Amino acid sequence: MVATEIHRTIDAVWRIESARLIAGLARIVRDVGIAEELAQDALVAALEQWPQSGVPQSPGAWLMGTAKHRAIDHLRRNKLIERKHEQLAYELEAQPKMPDLDSALDDDVGDGLLRLVFTACHPVLTSEARVALTLRVLGGLTTGEIARAFLTPEATVAQRIVRAKRTLAEKRVPFEVPRGTELAARLSSVLAVIYLIFNEGYTATSGDDWTRPALCEDALRLGRMLAELASREPEVHGLVALMEIQASRSRARVGPSGEPILLFDQNRTLWDQLLIRRGLAAIERAEKLAATRGPYTLQAAIAAGHARARTSAETDWARIAALYSELAQLAPSPVVDLNRAVAIGMAFGPQAGIEIVDALASEPSLQGYHLLPAVRGDLLTKLGRLDEARREFERAASLAQNARERELLVERARGCA
């Protein structure tokens, strides 16, 4: 195997094994930052040795074994190590070599990964820091990849990750899965981070591209992993269902030149039926686990309403409007009300929708939100009030940060002329 092929193999192994590797090491050293450094050391060793010795039969076990010995060295060098850690280092050193170690770690790999998820998404960190750290240690992305995905300077992303790891260490955040009432609070943070990553990929908030598929794929991978690890949590399955169904539209959402194609205009034969089936199955799991639907499961049910309709005209808009009303009661939000206005406008006529939109006009959180005038412009167009609609689309375009979305809104404004 030539060097370039080995490097590609190492990259693939790292993408698959890095989260598991860091989780196992964090369980030993109780510090996510140090665990990542030790994992990186093992990666460097692979890059140095595998081109000469060849790829080992069990590359994941090789990386874990190499990192384990570095962890033992780290514990020995630490002058302030507790007696408990000294005993742990002794027990680790006494274990059988790499293949058996790999099997032993597999016994607790789910628990270790789940601890890592909750640690990376701890509320002590800012939302931006949680996203960056999650993509770094669980998604296996480099700092440069994260920076490019969110159109943020690489130095800024690097600082966020460094500060996040430092904060976790300084605050002595335990490497554990919370229990009781704290679990629900922390789980909502984990789900919010994963969905934030997905949404940025599904509809980029800024830049020149309408979508960033790689981010959607990373979020889906994290969500599916969490669904395996926390299989009894209904909202985990609800979020996975929502992402699966939304991701099913990816090919239909972008035209040949990268231009956005809105839901009503999409060629639904391009929707991925496998992802839709996976999403519907995940909704079923979520509903079986809970007596009442949570916010992610409700949003997934709304997405399923679109997925089941062969054409936009066949969509059961009255049911979707009812689901949005249920969601608004469970998780009140001006954005939910804006989406409800769209559904009500489709189900009961544009005048009914615009009355809701006009009631949201004074909502402070929506003053700079470009979709408020965009929705109003669409409803005004259906009412035949084209001059007003044009002004709304022009205002929406002036507020939009994404270049593709701005072009679409400008085009809609021209159409009203």
Reported as a single tens digit per residue, the pLDDT across 322-358 is 999 999 999 999 999 999 999 999 999 999 999 999 9
CB contact set of 196 (below 8 Å; sequence gap of 6+): 127, 131
402 forms beta bridges with 207
With respect to residue 369, please indicate whether it lies within any of the assigned structural domains.
Answer: no
172 C-beta neighbours (distance < 10 Å), count: 8
What is the pLDDT, as a whole number, of residue 88? 56
With respect to residue 366, please indicate whether it lies within any of the assigned structural domains.
Answer: no
With respect to residue 363, please indicate whether it lies within any of the assigned structural domains.
Answer: no
**Do both 223 and 169 map to the same domain?**
no
With respect to residue 361, please indicate whether it lies within any of the assigned structural domains.
Answer: no
Give the relative orientation of helices 59-77 and 32-53 as an angle to the nearest 10 degrees: 130
**Do both 171 and 268 map to the same domain?**
no
**Do both 249 and 306 map to the same domain?**
yes
pTM for the whole structure: 0.77
Flag whether pLDDT at 97 surpasses 80: no
With respect to residue 338, please indicate whether it lies within any of the assigned structural domains.
Answer: no
**Do both 191 and 298 map to the same domain?**
yes
**Do both 103 and 140 map to the same domain?**
no
**Do both 303 and 198 map to the same domain?**
yes
With respect to residue 82, please indicate whether it lies within any of the assigned structural domains.
Answer: yes
Greatest mean pLDDT range, 5-9, 50-54, 62-66, 125-129 = 125-129
**Do both 98 and 153 map to the same domain?**
no
Span 158-166, average pLDDT: 94
Span 279-283, average pLDDT: 98
Which of these three, 82, 107, 132, is where a domain ends? 107
**Do both 189 and 167 map to the same domain?**
no
Band (16; pLDDT cuts 50, 70, 90): confident
Q: Which residue has the higher pLDDT, 150 or 252?
A: 252
Which of these three, 286, 311, 336, is where a domain ends? 311
Flag whether pLDDT at 112 surpasses 50: yes
Kindly list the distances between the CA atom of residue 360 and the CA atoms of 333, 365, 366, in Å, as whole numbers in the listed order: 11, 10, 8
Domain count of the fold of the chain: 3
Contact between residue 175 and residue 121 where contact means Cβ atoms under 8 Å apart: no
> Which position has the token pair 């770690």?
105
b/e per residue, 209-245, with b = 16+ CB within 10 A?
A: ebbbeebbebbbbbbbbbbebbeebbbbbbbbbbbbb
Domain that holds residue 283: 184-311
**Do both 3 and 35 map to the same domain?**
yes
**Do both 80 and 134 map to the same domain?**
no
**Do both 68 and 135 map to the same domain?**
no
Span 410-415, average pLDDT: 96
**Do both 306 and 190 map to the same domain?**
yes
Of the ranges 8-12, 225-229, 269-273, which one carries the lowest mean pLDDT score? Answer: 8-12
Nearest-angstrom CA–CA distance, 333 and 339 = 10
Which of these three, 293, 311, 329, is where a domain ends? 311
